[in-house]
Structures are given as structure tokens and as C-alpha cells.
Structure 1
Amino acid sequence: MQNLEKFNRHMMVMGRESRGLTQSGLADKLGVQQGTVSKVEAGVLDATDSFIEELSESLEYLPDFFLQTGRPYGMPPFHYRRRKKLGVKPLTKMIAEMNIRRIHLQILLRSSNDKTNRYIPEIDRDEYRGGHGQGFTIENAARHLREHWMLPDGPIENVVDLIEDNGGVIIPCDFNSNLIDAVSQRIDGMPVLFFVNLDAPADRMRHTLVHELAHMVLHTTTLLDDSEMEEEADHFAGAFLLPASGVRKHLSKFDVRQAALLKKHWKTSMASIAMRADRLGFLTPYQKKSFFIQMGKLGYRKSEPHEPPKERPKRIWDLIQYHLNDLGYSKTELSTALALPVHRFEEMYPAPPPDETQPAQQLKHGLRVIK
């Protein structure tokens, strides 16, 4: 069978980079010259059926993986500063994994009824008109989103659930780096995507997810300087997680002990609470500096006390369970649909540990899922 017309060289590049291989490294595994790999990836040389089979074995994707249509997407512009620090090789591996997981989600969504009328809005600051004719500010935008989603002024119980309940999909990834905890994307025809490193502490992940949410709300219609977008996203995260109307009364006598108590209530890091207190005008520069010096002496800059429970994404796992349980797929059939060997499918989509924020139910098939 000839697959020459169907072969997608972009998928070859994606598969190679997802395994952390250079062209030279892949050539060594295939037993060919690097020039052969380079020419196939450039579309100069056709990929024969035998080449595709060898590529499949070397990269541990099924042959159909390289026959899929579509193109890869790169990193959004608001991650420019951090991706420069990351380095080329880990960055390309990260982007490749994100693209592959996005393609998997597209496949899983084809047969599902996973739809919601709720959504993550985009705010055009040039046309923004808040309540009572208020103009655009980051504080107003954060308040607007909380009102749009009908959230009270208190703590957000579960940020992951909130985003997924409003149409987002949170996809766990192994970034192999502490420079980037999450990446968000808006792509036509897809839910808003949040790729996250679940190894991060829970309070940090909550802030990071709302930081990414800010980019999706504020920076898909308006593109600013990278540092300005990052500053706005941090401001938005603080205002969304710690609304001024709810937290202001607790900040008049602010110190490390008070920050620890507030963290237990708001599930937000002590450092983020201090930055919020500073932004709301409750700290002088000296008090802010003294606070972080004391945090350092206590070892809290590396590991804070009162870590909130881990929050786990559910939509991806629910889609997988829907295919296995409702549609009657075997694990082998579902792996084949995603163009993965079974062992690679199990590595990418292991059964998640119980969500620590909610009770788990034991089902007949022995898997624990969160409802």
C-alpha cells in the first residue's frame, strides 16, 4: 500500500521532537544519513512505506500518526520571555507534546457529547464598558469575569473545575522544566486549552491557571509588549483570586502570620497575598521587603506551609472513560485511534490519582474517577 500522498512531514517533525531527538539522532536510530531525514522533513524526498514503518518503530507511534492531516501550532506570544530562557531543545519537545495532545483531544471530541453553553470570554479593552459605565482596568476586567460566571466574593473552591465547567480543557503535560508551569491557547474549532505541569504546588498552579486565563481573556484581541502582558496577567490573577471587596478587610494588619491564615482561607500562596496587599496599598516598600526577608528566613520562599489540596483535570479523563465505557472501545482500539502503541497510551493517559478536593467513587471496573 502506498502512503506517499498521505504522508505529513510536519507529523514526522512533531514525532521526532516529542521524543527529544535531533535529525541526526533520528538518522542514527533509522540507520540512514541525516540528509535523508532532512530531505523527508523538508518535503524534498518522498517517504516510502518501508521508511514510514521504520519511523513508526523508532519513534513509537503507529504508522497512521504520520498520515494525519493538520499543522502544528507554536507558542503564543505572551510566553516569549520565558521560552527564551528555556532553550531550543526542551522548548521544541514541549511544543511537540502540546500539539500531539491537542490532536488527541480533537479525535476524542469527534464522538463525544462534551459540550457546554458556558464559555471563556474575550475582553476587547477598546470596546469595554463595565458596570455603571466604568472603563477598562485590570481590576474591572477580573471583577467582570467573576460576575459573568456568577462567583461570590469569597475564595474559589476549585480553579480547575471552574475553568473546565466554563468550557476550557486542562491537559496535564510533562514540561521537564520549572520555567513554564502552563501554556494556554485559543484555536478555532477547539475549546480553550490549558496545558499544565501538575507537579507544581497546588497554590502555585491555581495562580498559574488564572494567569493563563487572563491571557485568554485579555490578550487574544489586544497584543502588548511581552513584559506588559505578563504584568497584566499577574495583576488579573491576584484580582480574580483575591477580589478587593472580599480580601481588603483582612489586610490592615498584614504580616507573615496573617498571610498564613489568609492562605488557608483563600488557597492562594502567601507570596501572592503579599503582592495583592501591596497592589491594594496596604504595604509600604519597607514592609514588603521585610515580609519577603522573613519568608526567606523561614524557608517559605521555597516551600510554603498550608498547601491546599491538589486539583485534578477531569474532562480529558472523562472523554477517555466515555470511549472505553460508553462507546465500547478496548484500550487497544482507543490507542489505535490515537495512533499510539498501548504502552505509550498508558504513559500519556494514566488513571489520575483522586482529586484531593472531592470524594472519589469506586466503580465496578475498579477505576477511581471523580464526579
Structure 2
Amino acid sequence: MKGWSLQELADRVGTITKQSLNKYEQGLMKPEGTTLGLLAKALELTTDYFYRSNRLQLGQVEFRKKAKLTAKETDSIKEKIRDYLERYLEVEGLLNFQHTFNSPFKDDEGRPSKKKVTTYDDVEEAATCTLHAWKLGINPIPNVIEMLEENGICILALETSSSFHGLATHVSNLPVIVLNKTDTPERRRFTALHELGHLVLDIATDDEKEAENFCHRFASAMLMPKEVVEREFGVERKRISTYELIAVKQQFGISVQAVMRRLHDLKVITAGHYKYFCIKISPNRQEVGLGKYVGETNQSYRFQQLIHRLLAEDIVSDSKAANLAGMTLSEFRRELMPTNE
């Protein structure tokens, strides 16, 4: 979960040897209750985590080549995803929920399908169809995470390596998007919609870079449809002011860099103009001093709401609810339970 070696974990706990941990891992020896408590504290888990028998099988999990993550970091991220989804699905099971993905594209029998795309025009059309299918219109999407969850996608935001930004996978019929909680709001919004592209588009290329570009284009078109670009900037420009870029960033929740790429893709600005901008912005990739979007949450609240529903209907105890939330009972009461509950 933390990406530590057995020796590093032993050092963190202080009273357990690497050899004992190895035996626990191989099932040759079972830790006592106090030992489990120490391990849970070091790993920032609940002891309930160690008693799960049927581990969830993740679908295909692909990390982008540019992520430059170590093997430990990728294993840690996968385990965090598995842990969260096991708890998420248990909560839905206790509530007898039938999870449904409201895919914007369906086959002849009404089942979720992917939209085949071979050109950037196809991608633009797919984004337009998605906006229409989900009744989003062309106005700014206030909260991308909430919008995706309302359409049946499970969102998990992790505090993890800055080299990781996002991925998409499936668990049975449950589509999952994982984001980096520490990214800027604009980056999270763009990444979430980029990963949505991986979930709903059938990209007709084996070139990973081209596939990523298709998903970039899809995310941009979701955040700023062509009609909006022409309304805000016109169809052809020689110069774009910083004021205009900041205003659009704050209204639409899309980074200045993504806006300029969108203008380049739609040929509102020339390739030379865009290249000059990229050189100019390169020392300030974090866009410090260039505004900020304030409407996006950095985490999912649906899971918390479901846990509180379990409590309100007396389906689980406070202690079980805390385990499902991945917290100790005291943490759960302090962070998620108002004093009048």
C-alpha cells in the first residue's frame, strides 16, 4: 500500500522483524491482534483490511509511459485502488444497489459500447454526442467529478506521486477513473475527461502517443466545445491576451495551456503563435499567477454519502462504517459525523 519493502515496514513498526513479515505475507504464520494493530497504524489502514479473503481483481491497468513511476509506486497505486473499490462495492452491496453506467454510446440492444474514432473530427463528434447524451449543453461543467459519478463512474482521488496523473480501468461492469488529489483543479478536470475518453472511445490506432492525443482532444472538446471557442475567441486571431486566457480558465475550469492548445487545434491561432506561447509558458507550467478555477472538488463525496445512508438506515454500526470509510472510529467520528448524529 505504501510501496515500502519488508525491511522498511519492519523499521517503521519497530517491534516486528523482516523475517516475520515475510512469513505473514506467505501465510506461514498469522500475526496476533496487537501486531495487526501496529501494522495497520504504520500502513494507515484499518485492521479490517487484513481480514478480507476474496481480493478484488482489477481490470487492465495501464500507466502512461510518461508517468515515470517506479515498480513500487505502481504496485502501491494498484493496491490503493483495490482497497477502495473493495470497500466501495461492499457499501453498494449492503444497500442492494445495482450499479449502472450511463454510457453515452450504446449498441443496438442498449448496452454500453464504445464510439469508434479514426480522426480528430470523429473525436469532436464523440464529445458533442457525450455532452448531448448527458444533457450537459455547452455551458461550463461546474464539477466534473460529480458529473461523472452521476453517470455511474467511480472516481478515486489519491494522494500519490506527482509523476502520476490518472488512469481508467474496469471492475466487472463498474468503470473507474483514478486521479491525483494533489494536482491543480484544472489538471484534475482535464485528466478525468481524458480518462473518460479511454473508457468510451474505440481508438483505431496502435500508436500510444496518437491515442493519448485523441483523448486530449476529447477532454478539450468536452470542456470547451468548438461553438464556445468561437464565441469566446472568434474563428481567427493574431494575438490572445493573458486577460482573456485567465477569464476563460476561471469560467470553464481549463488551464491556460489547454486553452491555447485548443485554439491551435481549431486553427484559431497559427502553429507559430502556439510554439511561441509554449516557449514563453515553459518556466511556469504550474501557471502561478494565472488564475484558478474554484468550482471543482478534489475528491468524491458519493462514497461518503452512501456510508451515511448505511448509518441512517441502521444497516451497519459506527465501527463498521468507519472500517468501510477506511478510517479508525475516532477519525470517522471526527471527520464524517456531525455532532448531532
Aligned match of 2:276: 290
Cα RMSD for the two superposed structures: 3.5
Aligned match of 1:182: 166
Further displaced range: 252-261 or 264-273: 252-261
Contact 1:146-1:240 within 8 A present in 2 as well: yes
Q: Partner letter of residue 277 of structure 2?
A: F
Contact 2:168-2:176 within 8 A present in 1 as well: yes
Q: TM-score, normalised by structure 1?
A: 0.74
SS of corresponding position for 2:164: coil
Which of 219, 239, 245 aligns to 2:227? It is 245
What CA distance in whole angstroms lies between the structure 1 residues aligned with 2:260 and 2:216? Answer: 13
4+ runs of 1 displaced by more than 6 Å? none
Deviations 1:69-105 (A, max 9, x none): 124537622x23144x121222222221111111110
Q: Partner letter of residue 161 of structure 1?
A: E
What CA distance in whole angstroms lies between the structure 1 residues aligned with 2:60 and 2:331? Answer: 25
- After the TM superposition, which residues 200-279 of structure 1 pair with which residues of structure 2 at under 5 Å, given as runs? 200-218=183-201, 224-251=206-233, 252-253=236-237, 254-255=239-240, 256-279=242-265
Tell me the percent identity. Answer: 19
Shift in Å, 1:39: 5.6
Which of 72, 83, 88 aligns to 2:71? It is 88
Shift in Å, 1:64: 6.2
What CA distance in whole angstroms lies between the structure 2 residues aligned with 1:115 and 1:224? Answer: 35
Contact 2:142-2:295 within 8 A present in 1 as well: no
Which of 307, 314, 321 aligns to 2:301? It is 314
Which of 40, 51, 54 aligns to 1:69? It is 54
Aligned match of 2:139: 154
Aligned match of 1:168: 153
Contact 1:211-1:237 within 8 A present in 2 as well: yes
SS of corresponding position for 2:141: coil
Deviations 1:132-153 (A, max 9, x none): xx99721121112112112212
What is the aligned residue count? Answer: 322
- After the TM superposition, which residues 79-158 of structure 1 pair with which residues of structure 2 at under 5 Å, given as runs? 79-83=63-67, 85-112=68-95, 119-120=102-103, 121=105, 123-125=113-115, 137-158=122-143
Deviations 1:243-297 (A, max 9, x none): 1122124333351332223223322111111000000012222211222344457
Alpha-carbon distance change, 282 to 64 in structure 1, aligned in 2, over 3 angstroms: closer
- After the TM superposition, which residues 296-307 of structure 1 pair with which residues of structure 2 at under 5 Å, given as runs? 299=284, 301-307=286-292
What CA distance in whole angstroms lies between the structure 2 residues aligned with 1:165 and 1:69? Answer: 28
Q: Partner letter of residue 59 of structure 1?
A: A
Q: TM-score, normalised by structure 2?
A: 0.79
Q: Which runs of 5+ in 2 are unaligned?
A: 106-111
Aligned match of 2:39: 58
Contact 2:115-2:200 within 8 A present in 1 as well: no
What CA distance in whole angstroms lies between the structure 2 residues aligned with 1:112 and 1:63? Answer: 20
Q: Which runs of 5+ in 1 are unaligned?
A: 1-17, 353-362, 367-371
Further displaced range: 151-160 or 301-310: 301-310
Shift in Å, 1:343: 5.3
What CA distance in whole angstroms lies between the structure 2 residues aligned with 1:27 and 1:75? Answer: 32
Aligned match of 1:5: none
Contact 2:101-2:151 within 8 A present in 1 as well: yes
Contact 2:56-2:86 within 8 A present in 1 as well: no
Shift in Å, 1:239: 1.2
Shift in Å, 1:310: 4.1
Contact 1:20-1:89 within 8 A present in 2 as well: yes
Q: Partner letter of residue 58 of structure 1?
A: L
